[in-house]
């Protein structure tokens, strides 16, 4: 069992010399390993705070083997996550999330890691734990995206897009990371932190344990490092983007702060990313490079530059203030004097509270980017901004283009062909470069609303189920939002049935439809109309339970009462009686009073949810209306008695 307890200081009452010697000896024996443990953790923390995660993992592992505690496990989990070793990260986050008093952040991150490892149903279970455990850590809309992402990932994996071809470019890749592949003036340029094998030792980046990023160019079968001077070697250089029309190259870099910048940054120095540019004709792109207008090394990063073919627009990512959250995508346009104009945020169609990265535009003008904040499989997924709909929408390119890992830095060299990077399983190392042919990507969605057939008002919280024909095990369930709306991702050439249910409404006959023959991105519209129960029609609420001898509304009972509130909100004229019933055990008078208190509690709860009190009648019936033969004195099983302990409601006026 992990523990948060620190080290306790031993009492030292000096009674006589013999006792003194004994105590001193014991203190020496105990203090020595404690001091060593403290020193080890201090060194590990120093490496962690300096983002030297490889070294930090080694030190924390040794410390944990000597003494298992939550903080060390937390640091190991975070370190493995930062180096994107998701299998080890899963093991450590499991230790944290499976504690009885687990922190919500640990459960949430455990869910993310499970998604990265293709365990989508397990991930959804963790997200549901987050929703039930605390509020404020993550809002309901973000949780709904995570639920839907888990459900959609299962569908995508089982229904891969047939028009996508993707292959690992093994001639370009190494055991280290390669990404950002783009056609340049004399070959395919990309960034890599591979070991060069040169006589001069590589400078190691503590985060990954590999060299710093450099740019490489592949021409035919040869791959060479770009000869560009930048900083002292302990800096990243690349990836790059080109405009042959304007004879320009823009690239992302890090550099050491100058004295004045260091003074301005203070003691908590973060090495932020910057963008610089140069002429393609420059013999050394790193020399006399021009700083981008929005560089601010002491305050924020700018990176992932992408120049349009004309060179008139530059897209980039930044964590500057004023964004949607995480890193956002911005763009600037060229002014008549050649300078860049004001930066514009791409807005909510692209940017989310998560991270958006690696903008790109294909030859047809369609915009692409990576994100971990939209509906996705896990990590970063690649999306296309579909402008052909009424409102621009981020469309996930699906599987096999995307994976549960990170998929990013999409670049086109032909209309529907190009390169993307991924650290998916089966690669050669960390991030690998993949060639793709995106012949045709079809995005199919289903949107609709659940409504009261009588009033045409929305029914919130209704359970809506999408069932692929012949594959009931992969049914996807969502709850309609406050406006009765719901949404699903669909697979191509698949038959479906759509079902819905809500307390206070009659059974809905499932609706059948199909995506067969649909070969363009389409959003199908399907509305569901539920028929409300009629006057004097009794609805038994079997899921409303009370603790023994109590009338307090438990959380599970509140969920059921919320459904009644949804029914009443969908029919403002309806009035109901809410009745509570008991089994035959106990005295008649006692059960009458107890069931009345329970009925009153249920009514009070509905009033707290905004239902007018004059629309509600509370009635406790004790055991005067038994639902079976278990009258007083009749021997019955506990299950048979439970059948009588129920709450019912029926409409008494409309």
pLDDT tens per residue across span 142-157: 888 888 889 888 888 8
pLDDT on residue 496: 95
pLDDT on residue 519: 67
618 CB-near residues (< 8 Å, 6+ apart): 577, 578, 579, 580, 596, 599, 600, 602, 603
pLDDT on residue 392: 81
| pLDDT over 80 at 365, yes or no | yes
Q: How far apart are CA 396 and CA 393, in angstroms?
A: 10
| pLDDT over 60 at 578, yes or no | yes
Residue 164: pLDDT band (50, 70, 90) is confident
Beta strand pairing call for 313-318 and 302-307: antiparallel
The CATH architecture annotation of domain 538-653 reads 2-Layer Sandwich (3.30)
DSSP state letters, 476-493: EEEE--TTSEEEEEE-TT
* Share of residues in the chain with pLDDT > 70 (%): 90
Name the β-bridge partners of 218: 188, 223
pLDDT on residue 389: 58
Beta strand pairing call for 248-253 and 274-279: antiparallel
Name the β-bridge partners of 276: 251, 291
Q: How far apart are CA 308 and CA 291, in angstroms?
A: 19
pLDDT on residue 299: 87
Return the half-sphere exposure (C-beta side, CA atoms, 13 A cut-off) of residue 126.
Answer: 28
39, 31 contact by CB (below 8 A) = no
Name the β-bridge partners of 587: none
The topology (CATH level 3) of 444-530 is Immunoglobulin-like (2.60.40)
| pLDDT over 60 at 20, yes or no | no
Region 565-569 average pLDDT: 89
| pLDDT over 50 at 549, yes or no | yes
Q: How far apart are CA 565 and CA 542, in angstroms?
A: 16
State pLDDT tens for residues 421-457: 999 988 888 899 999 988 766 778 999 999 999 999 9
Could you list the beta-strand ranges (E) of 423-494: 432-438, 444-452, 463-468, 476-479, 485-490
Mapping DSSP to helix (H, G, I), strand (E, B) and coil, where does residue 267 land?
A: coil
Instruction: Give the residue among 650, 572, 585 at the shortest CA–CA distance from 623.
Output: 585
How wide is the angle at C-alpha 123 spanned by C-alphas 121 and 128, nearest 5°?
95
Of 28-32, 238-242, 280-284, 585-589, which range is least confident?
Answer: 28-32
pLDDT on residue 258: 82
pLDDT on residue 459: 92
Of 136-140, 566-570, 599-603, 612-616, which range is least confident?
Answer: 136-140
Mapping DSSP to helix (H, G, I), strand (E, B) and coil, where does residue 526 land?
A: coil
pLDDT on residue 34: 58
**CB atoms closer than 10 angstroms to residue 644:** 19
Mapping DSSP to helix (H, G, I), strand (E, B) and coil, where does residue 613 land?
A: helix
pLDDT on residue 7: 29
Beta strand pairing call for 476-479 and 575-580: unpaired
Token representation of residue 236: 């990243």
- For the four alpha carbons of 168, 171, 176 and 181, in that order, the dihedral sign comes to negative
pLDDT on residue 443: 78
pLDDT on residue 448: 95
Region 89-103 average pLDDT: 87
> How remote is the C-alpha of 566 from its chain's centroid?
29
pLDDT on residue 630: 92
| pLDDT over 80 at 550, yes or no | no
Residue 276: pLDDT band (50, 70, 90) is very high
| pLDDT over 80 at 19, yes or no | no
Return the half-sphere exposure (C-beta side, CA atoms, 13 A cut-off) of residue 627.
Answer: 17
| pLDDT over 60 at 183, yes or no | yes
pLDDT on residue 206: 85
Token representation of residue 350: 């692209």
Q: Considering the chain, tell me which residue range(s) the CATH 3.30.1330.60 domain(s) occupy.
A: 538-653
Q: Which residue has the higher pLDDT, 99 or 485?
A: 485
Hey, what CATH class is 164-438 in?
Answer: mainly beta
| pLDDT over 50 at 352, yes or no | yes
Residue 14: pLDDT band (50, 70, 90) is very low
Q: How far apart are CA 500 and CA 188, in angstroms?
A: 53
Q: Considering the chain, tell me which residue range(s) the CATH 1.25.40.10 domain(s) occupy.
A: 17-153
pLDDT on residue 13: 39
Region 270-286 average pLDDT: 90
Q: Which residue has the higher pLDDT, 143 or 519?
A: 143
The CATH architecture annotation of domain 17-153 reads Alpha Horseshoe (1.25)
Name the β-bridge partners of 501: 463
546, 597 contact by CB (below 8 A) = no
| pLDDT over 70 at 30, yes or no | no
Mapping DSSP to helix (H, G, I), strand (E, B) and coil, where does residue 307 land?
A: strand
| pLDDT over 50 at 314, yes or no | yes
Of 337-341, 435-439, 528-532, 538-542, which range is least confident?
Answer: 538-542
654, 615 contact by CB (below 8 A) = no
Write down the residue that tokens 């050394």 correspond to: 284
**CB atoms closer than 10 angstroms to residue 338:** 8
Q: How far apart are CA 359 and CA 370, in angstroms?
A: 7
- The secondary structure element, H or E, covering residue 72 is helix 70-82
Q: For 293, which DSSP code? A: T
| pLDDT over 90 at 564, yes or no | no
Instruction: Give the residue among 271, 201, 209, 261 at the shortest CA–CA distance from 236.
Output: 271
pLDDT on residue 136: 63
Distance separating the N- and C-terminal Cα atoms of the chain? 58
- For the four alpha carbons of 592, 598, 599 and 600, in that order, the dihedral sign comes to positive
| pLDDT over 90 at 273, yes or no | yes
Residue 36: pLDDT band (50, 70, 90) is low
| pLDDT over 60 at 16, yes or no | no
Q: For 300, which DSSP code? A: B
Q: How far apart are CA 41 and CA 64, in angstroms?
A: 9
Return the half-sphere exposure (C-beta side, CA atoms, 13 A cut-off) of residue 332.
Answer: 18
pLDDT on residue 33: 58
Q: What is the mean pLDDT of the chain?
A: 85
Write down the residue that tokens 């090394």 correspond to: 297
Q: Considering the chain, tell me which residue range(s) the CATH 2.60.40.1120 domain(s) occupy.
A: 444-530
State pLDDT tens for residues 191-247: 999 998 776 678 888 888 889 999 999 988 889 898 877 777 788 999 999 998 889
Region 598-626 average pLDDT: 90
Region 347-373 average pLDDT: 93
Question: Rg of the chain over CA atoms, in angstroms?
Answer: 31
Q: Considering the chain, tell me which residue range(s) the CATH 2.120.10.30 domain(s) occupy.
A: 164-438
Residue 27: pLDDT band (50, 70, 90) is very low
pLDDT on residue 215: 92
Q: How far apart are CA 519 and CA 585, in angstroms?
A: 64
Q: Is the pTM of this model over 0.75?
A: no
């Amino acid at each position: 069992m992990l523990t948060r307890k620190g080290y306790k200081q031993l009492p030292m009452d000096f009674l006589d010399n013999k006792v003194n010697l004994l105590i001193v000896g014991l203190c020496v024996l105990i203090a020595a390993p404690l001091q060593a443990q403290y020193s080890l953790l201090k060194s590990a923390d120093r490496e962690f705070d300096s983002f030297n995660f490889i070294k930090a993992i080694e030190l924390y592992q040794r410390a944990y083997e000597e003494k298992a505690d939550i903080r060390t496990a937390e640091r190991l989990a975070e370190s493995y996550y930062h180096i994107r070793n998701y299998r080890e990260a899963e093991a450590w986050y499991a230790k944290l999330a499976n504690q009885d008093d687990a922190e919500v952040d640990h459960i949430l991150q455990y869910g993310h890691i499970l998604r990265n490892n293709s365990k989508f149903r397990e991930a959804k279970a963790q997200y549901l734990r987050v929703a039930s455990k605390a509020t404020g850590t993550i809002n309901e809309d973000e949780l709904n995206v995570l639920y839907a992402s888990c459900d959609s990932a299962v569908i995508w994996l089982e229904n891969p897009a047939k028009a996508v071809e993707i292959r690992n470019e093994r001639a370009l890749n190494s055991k280290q990371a390669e990404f950002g592949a783009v056609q340049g003036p004399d070959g395919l340029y990309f960034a890599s932190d591979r070991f060069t094998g040169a006589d001069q030792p590589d400078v190691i980046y503590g985060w990954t344990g590999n060299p710093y990023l450099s740019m490489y160019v592949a021409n035919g079968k040869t791959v060479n490092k770009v000869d560009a001077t930048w900083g002292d070697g302990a800096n990243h250089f690349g990836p790059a983007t080109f405009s042959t029309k304007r004879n320009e190259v823009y690239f992302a870099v890090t550099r050491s702060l100058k004295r004045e910048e260091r003074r301005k940054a203070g003691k908590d120095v973060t090495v932020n990313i910057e963008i610089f540019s140069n002429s393609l004709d420059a013999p050394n792109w790193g020399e006399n490079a021009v700083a981008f207008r929005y560089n601010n090394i002491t305050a924020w990063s700018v990176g992932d530059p992408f120049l349009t073919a004309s060179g008139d627009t530059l897209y980039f990512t930044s964590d500057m203030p004023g964004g949607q959250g995480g890193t956002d995508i911005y763009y600037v346009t060229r002014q008549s004097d050649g300078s860049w104009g004001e930066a514009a945020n791409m807005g909510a169609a692209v940017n989310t509270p998560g991270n958006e990265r690696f903008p790109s535009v294909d030859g047809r003008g369609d915009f692409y980017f990576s994100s971990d904040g939209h509906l996705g499989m896990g990590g970063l997924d690649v999306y296309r901004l579909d402008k052909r709909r009424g409102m621009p929408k981020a469309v996930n390119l699906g599987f096999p283009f995307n994976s549960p890992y990170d998929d990013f830095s999409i670049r086109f060299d032909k209309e529907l062909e190009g390169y993307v990077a991924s650290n998916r399983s089966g690669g050669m190392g960390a991030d690998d470069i993949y060639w793709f042919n995106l012949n045709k990507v079809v995005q199919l969605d289903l949107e609709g609303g659940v409504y009261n057939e009588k009033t045409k008002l929305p029914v919130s919280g209704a359970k809506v189920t999408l069932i692929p024909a012949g594959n009931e095990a992969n049914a996807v369930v969502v709850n309609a939002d406050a406006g009765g709306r719901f949404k699903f991702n669909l697979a191509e050439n698949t038959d479906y049935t759509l079902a819905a249910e809500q307390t206070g409404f009659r059974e809905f006959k499932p609706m059948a439809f199909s995506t067969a023959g649909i070969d363009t991105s389409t959003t199908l519209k399907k509305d569901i109309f539920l028929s409300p129960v009629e006057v004097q029609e009794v609805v038994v609420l079997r899921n409303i339970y009370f603790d023994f001898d109590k009338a307090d509304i438990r959380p599970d009972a509140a969920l059921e009462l919320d459904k009644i509130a949804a029914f009443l909100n969908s029919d403002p004229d309806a009035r109901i009686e809410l009745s509570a019933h008991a089994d035959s055990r106990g005295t008649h008078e006692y059960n009458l009073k107890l069931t009345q208190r329970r009925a009153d509690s249920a009514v009070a709860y509905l009033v707290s949810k905004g239902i007018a009190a004059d629309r509600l009648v509370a009635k406790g019936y004790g055991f005067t209306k038994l639902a079976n033969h278990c009258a007083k004195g009749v021997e019955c099983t506990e299950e048979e008695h439970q059948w009588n302990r129920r709450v019912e409601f029926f409409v008494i006026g409309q």
